[in-house]
Amino acid sequence: MRLVLVGPPGSGKGTQAERLVARFGLTAIGTGAMFRDAIDRGTDMGKTVGPLIKQGLLVPDPIVNEVVAELFRGPGRPERFVMDGYPRTYSQAVAFDALLRLEYLRLDAVVDLSIPDEEVVRRISGRRCCSNPACGVCFHVVARPPKVPGRCNACGGPLVLRDDDKEETIRRRLGEFHKNTDALLDYYRRQGLVRDVDATRSPDQIF
Ligand code: AMP
């Protein structure tokens, strides 16, 4: 199975990706998590993308495309995967198709997780993620509380509100999302790949 998850921040892409990994043994590819890791490690790329992410802006397509292409090159490339947060623009989708074609891989579906903006803001402001760069698992103060308040269930690391999860930043990220998503989904719809899912439902129902 090869899937792309499309949805605004807070639509549950990360949660569904985790479940797909657990159930079907897919490789989850989360570009946001890869960037956060590069920022934490202080790499050159981290230094370039850090300020953009903090402001809720998108990382330029050539950088994201190259990060993903590197994963698919070479013998360890993922065969069955779920993309969490990439492609996010029409031009990323075109680049990703070209990359998959070179690797003789085809997408099975693009899952469109749709949810109103106000619900996104409500959800994200309660989100707390593990600050341990090797972990990064996210919880929600109401919907998915950790067993011990403020501590990650997986590794015990301290849970924090990510800079890019602050309300003003969420609104900017939603703006970016809407600006890019119509063209992205049109592109995949023309290929008959899009499956629409109501992302206001519970994680179980969505799954
Ligand atoms: P996420 O964890 O998927 O919400 O991503 C966090 C941030 O990383 C986004 O707000 C963007 O700034 C950046 N990012 C992640 N994936 C992409 C992408 N495919 N294209 C551009 N920017 C991205």
Predicted model pTM: 0.85
- Which residue, judged by its Cα, is nearest atom 11 of ligand 1? 58
144 in active site: no
Residues of the chain with pLDDT under 50: none
pLDDT for the residue numbered 165: 86
Which of the residues 88, 122, 147, 190 is marked catalytic? 88
pLDDT for the residue numbered 79: 92
pLDDT digits (tens, 9 = 90+) for 170-185: 998 899 899 999 999 9
pLDDT for the residue numbered 133: 85
The beta-strand segments (E) located in the chain are 2-6, 27-30, 81-84, 109-114, 127-130, 138-140, 159-160, 194-198
pLDDT for the residue numbered 143: 84
54 in active site: no
128 in active site: no
pLDDT for the residue numbered 26: 96
